[in-house]
């Protein structure tokens, strides 16, 4: 089979280069700028869109044409000035339909008709048209909850669009697409080629061209060979902004026609090549049969590898739907997991918060009681010690004035006592700060055992006072004795 394919390609390359080129791209494509527009300089200095006319509520700007603003009962339209004269074509439009309401109205339409429309009742344009309409119907008139809907309708001029049921009996095909308020502009691609009309829709979730989805495909469509392209929109009781950002038109030329007209071959040469091609076809068929007889399994497999364009479209649709379904399932599972995690987290945080608040309350109580008592004891002791210190300083001054022989010994004793008291004050301060620190660290450590007092502060102070009184008595006694001795001498 590989040999057969190779020889076929080589033959076509040698004798029919244009045919091969056309087969590779299926058809020849030519951009028609007179039937297209796009930003950023969509409007010229005169405020017109070159090669197009507009009317109704339509307002062009540099990057778009607003067919209707989001105001009630507006109709706007935009048509090519000249008739398009190619039989097969493809158009692609970028649109934006935005509104603040959950439901919008009425919608917009893309046209290919024998005569250019004017302001009318069918999405802003004329009814009883002759040609094609692709209708993007936002509002659900029949209440079947099947809007926004994109549909294809061909009219021979006799049918009046049935708004009351959203034209459901007049549509040749369509798809349910919520095209309002998308993150990016929506795109509609319509191909009319060899009496097959194919409609793709891009939902504007991205700006990637590959995100086009097949909406519908209608066979045996017969449109006029010449016509005007147009876009229109309308609002009703509800209103959306309907904007056209760009419109591109392509001419599609079948490859065989192209080869005959552009090949530049004389009739004789064409006949000769046709004859050679027919001979080759016979040889090819013969080789195919031989190959099929030699390798029946492989031939069957090869045949299965090919599919028609229709089968391919259907397969793509199924694959797309399956992918969406799988993604939705995954999202659902992920959402479930997240909900469980959030609940667990909430429970943990609540428990921890309660526990913390209990601990804080308990700690505060302990701190207040303990620290309060410690501070009051400390203050009492400090006051008493300060009094003692002052008394001793007073006595010390009195003693120095007398300049007795024993002053040095007394001063030394007083210094010792002051040192002992300073040391005592320091110890008490340490104890107090330790208690306070322990109070602050209650969350982590158990409370320290109560300090063991060999002697109470009251008893201690009493002893000190007794000692001082005895000392003062002794000093007084000695002073009197000395005074008596001086008197005596």
Contact footprint for Ca ion (CB under 5 A): 137, 139-142, 144, 146-147, 166
CB neighbourhood size of 12 (10 A): 17
Distance of CA 334 to the CA centre of its chain: 16
CB of 107 to Ca ion, least distance (A): 6
Provide the pairing of β-strand 241-253 with 28-31.
Answer: antiparallel
CB of 49 to Ca ion, least distance (A): 28
C-alpha to C-alpha distance for 419 and 410, rounded to whole angstroms: 14
Residue nearest to Ca ion (CB): 166
CB of 215 to Ca ion, least distance (A): 16
HEC sequence for 394-425? HHHHHHHHHCCCCHHHHHHHHHHHHHHHHHHH
Which is closer to Ca ion, CB of 137 or CB of 241? 137
CB of 227 to Ca ion, least distance (A): 25
Which is closer to Ca ion, CB of 151 or CB of 198? 151
Unique residue bearing structure tokens 């006694």: 477
CB of 178 to Ca ion, least distance (A): 13
Unique residue bearing structure tokens 């006319």: 53
Residues 91/110, Cβ–Cβ less than 8 Å:
yes
HEC sequence for 162-206? CHHHCCCCCCCEEEECCCECCCCCEEEEEEEECCEEEEEEECCCC
CB of 158 to Ca ion, least distance (A): 21
Burial of 347 (0-12, 13-18, 19+ CB in 10 A): exposed
Which is closer to Ca ion, CB of 84 or CB of 123? 123
Which is closer to Ca ion, CB of 147 or CB of 198? 147
Which is closer to Ca ion, CB of 139 or CB of 228? 139
Which is closer to Ca ion, CB of 111 or CB of 228? 111
Q: Please list the residues that pair with 7 across neighbouring strands.
A: none
């Amino acid at each position: 089979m590989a040999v057969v394919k190779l020889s076929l390609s080589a033959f076509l390359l040698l004798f029919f280069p244009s045919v091969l080129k056309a087969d590779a791209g299926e058809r020849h494509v030519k951009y028609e700028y007179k039937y297209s527009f796009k930003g950023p300089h969509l409007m010229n200095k005169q405020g017109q869109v070159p090669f197009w006319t507009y009317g109704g509520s339509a307002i062009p700007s540099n990057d778009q044409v607003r067919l209707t603003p989001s105001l009630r009962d507006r109709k706007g339209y935009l048509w090519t000035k000249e008739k398009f004269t190619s039989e097969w074509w493809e158009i692609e439009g970028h649109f934006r339909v935005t509104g603040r309401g959950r439901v919008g109205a009425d919608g917009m339409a893309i046209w290919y008709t024998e005569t250019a429309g004017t302001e009318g009742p069918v999405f802003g344009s004329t009814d009883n048209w002759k040609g094609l309409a692709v209708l993007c119907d936002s509002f659900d008139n029949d209440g079947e909850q099947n809007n926004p809907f994109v549909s294809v309708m061909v009219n021979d001029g006799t049918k009046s669009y049935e708004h009351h049921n959203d034209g459901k009996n007049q549509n040749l095909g369509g798809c349910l697409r919520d095209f309002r308020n998308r993150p990016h502009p929506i795109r509609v691609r319509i191909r009319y080629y060899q009496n097959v009309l194919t409609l793709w829709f891009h939902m504007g979730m991205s700006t990637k061209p590959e995100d086009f989805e097949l909406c519908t495909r209608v066979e045996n469509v017969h449109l006029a060979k010449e016509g005007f392209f147009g876009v229109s929109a309308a609002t009703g009781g509800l209103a959306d902004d309907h904007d056209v950002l760009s419109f591109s038109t392509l001419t599609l030329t079948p490859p065989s026609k192209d080869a005959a007209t552009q090949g530049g071959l004389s009739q004789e040469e064409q006949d000769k090549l046709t004859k050679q091609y027919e001979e080759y076809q016979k040889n090819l068929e013969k080789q195919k049969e031989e190959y099929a007889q030699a390798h029946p399994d492989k031939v069957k497999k090869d045949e299965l590898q090919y599919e028609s364009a229709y089968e391919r479209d259907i397969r793509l649709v199924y694959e797309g739907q399956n992918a969406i379904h799988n993604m939705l399932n995954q999202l659902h599972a992920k959402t479930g997991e997240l909900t469980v995690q959030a609940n667990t987290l909430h429970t943990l945080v609540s428990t921890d918060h309660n526990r913390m608040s209990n601990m804080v309350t308990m700690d505060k109580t302990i701190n207040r009681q303990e620290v309060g008592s410690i501070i009051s004891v400390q203050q009492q002791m400090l006051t008493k010690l300060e009094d003692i210190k002052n008394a001793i300083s007073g006595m010390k001054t009195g003693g120095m004035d007398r300049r007795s022989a024993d002053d040095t010994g007394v001063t030394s004793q007083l210094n010792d006592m002051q040192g002992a008291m300073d040391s005592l004050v320091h110890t008490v301060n340490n104890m107090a700060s330790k208690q306070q620190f322990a109070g602050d660290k209650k969350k982590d450590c158990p409370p320290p055992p109560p300090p063991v007092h060999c002697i109470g502060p009251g008893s201690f102070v009493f002893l000190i006072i007794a000692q001082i009184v005895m000392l003062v008595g002794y000093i007084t006694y000695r002073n009197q004795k000395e005074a008596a001795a001086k008197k005596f001498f």
